[in-house]
Amino acid sequence: MLKKNKKTFSAQNYIYINGRKKKRRKNFLFAFFVFLAVAFVLALFYFLFFSDYLKLKTANFFGLDAVKKETLQEKFENYLPKNIFLFSKKDFAEFLKSDIRKINNIDIKKKYPDSIDVYVVEYIPVGIVCNVVFEYEEEYKCFYFDKNGVVFDNSPFVKSNSLLFVYQKGLSISKLPNNFFSKEDIDFIFSFKDYFSKNSGILIDYFEFIGDIGDVVAKTKAGFDIFLTKSQPAKSQAEIADKIIKEQVKGDISNVEYIDLRIKNKAYIKTKQKEQ
């Protein structure tokens, strides 16, 4: 009986000891695999965010004209973070747009592992708005605007046949870019200038928007004014003005003070000697 108990005890003890060994082995294997997993995650984390392999080294710029590549390259080199995963396309685009006023829009594409392509859309100036008519009048403020009427950057005082010139008394713009004019405003004066100057041979010196009812004054380089209304097509008013000069004034523009086309189907001409 005693021998039987010894045998039973020995068997139970063997099972117990063997079970503990297996448990230790399992714990060891578990700890080993946890260690490997943690080491792998840390290595992957280092590789993704701190290794030079995924560090941005190159920026390729496209669509540049007025904006210099060297300027953008310098901005890129000084911008952080440089890791391609941490690099925010949106933040970098906003950074460039806020710092370089000639930039209208930016599209950025990441090229793994270490470069980006930057596609730039610049504002294209079609005119200048100033608070003076002549450069020597006072301390001037001038700004470029694009075809949509967006005033986007400071400008020198320039009058050129290739650019619209708008005089705005008391001009004050605190934030750029600024939707200062409407697209319709710019389309109107551009259309009038283009048609009138080509057909009459008389150049427009500058435009001025007057009042709040859509009136515009075209100041000619010949010394007379043309009063216009945005409620009527610019081209039709240009045709009427050209016809008046050729048929009624008969080319003697030195005697004209102004032509008023603001009343539909009527034209009022004031000469320096008499009114018609």
- Cα torsion for 176, 181, 187, 191, to the nearest 10°? -100
Q: What pLDDT, on a 0 to 100 scale, did the predictor assign at position 145? A: 97
Give the CA angle between residues 142, 216, 233 to the nearest 5°. 125
Query: Phi/psi of residue 33, each to 5°?
Result: -70, -35
Q: What pLDDT, on a 0 to 100 scale, did the predictor assign at position 19? A: 62
Cα separation, 63 vs 148, whole angstroms: 20
One-letter identity of residue 275: E
Q: What pLDDT, on a 0 to 100 scale, did the predictor assign at position 252? A: 82
Q: Which helix (H) or strand (E) holds 17?
A: helix 2-49
Residue-wise over 242-276: b if at least 16 C-beta within 10 A, else e? bebbeeebeeeeeebebbbbbeeeebebebeeeee
One-letter identity of residue 121: V
CATH placement of domain 52-122:
3.10.20.310
pTM: 0.78
Average pLDDT over residues 205-210: 96
pLDDT at 165 over 70: yes
Q: pLDDT tens digits for 126-141?
A: 999 999 988 776 688 9
pLDDT at 24 over 80: no
Cα separation, 189 vs 200, whole angstroms: 16
Q: pLDDT tens digits for 66-118?
A: 999 999 999 999 888 888 988 999 999 999 999 999 999 999 999 999 999 99
Cα separation, 8 vs 245, whole angstroms: 129
* Residue 205: closest CA among 127, 270, 138: 127
**Minimum mean pLDDT among 5-19, 110-124, 164-178: which range?**
5-19
Q: pLDDT tens digits for 212-271?
A: 778 999 999 999 999 999 999 999 999 999 999 988 887 788 889 999 999 988 899 998
Domain boundaries defined on the chain: 1-50, 52-122, 127-271
Q: Which helix (H) or strand (E) holds 64?
A: none
Give the CA angle between residues 223, 225, 229 to the nearest 5°. 160
Q: How confident is the model at residue 5 (pLDDT cuts 50, 70, 90)?
A: low
**Minimum mean pLDDT among 36-40, 132-136, 173-177, 191-195: which range?**
36-40
3-state secondary structure of 53: helix
Q: What pLDDT, on a 0 to 100 scale, did the predictor assign at position 93? A: 95
Q: What pLDDT, on a 0 to 100 scale, did the predictor assign at position 40? A: 63
Give the CA angle between residues 231, 239, 257 to the nearest 5°. 85
Q: pLDDT tens digits for 189-206?
A: 999 999 999 999 999 999
pLDDT at 6 over 60: no
Other C-beta atoms within 10 Å of 188: how many? 24
Classify domain 127-271 by CATH architecture: 3-Layer(aba) Sandwich (3.40)
Other C-beta atoms within 10 Å of 35: how many? 10
Q: What pLDDT, on a 0 to 100 scale, did the predictor assign at position 70? A: 95
Cα separation, 89 vs 23, whole angstroms: 52
In DSSP notation, 165-201 reads EEE-TT----SSSEE-S-HHHHHHHHHHHHHHHHHH-
Q: What pLDDT, on a 0 to 100 scale, did the predictor assign at position 275? A: 47
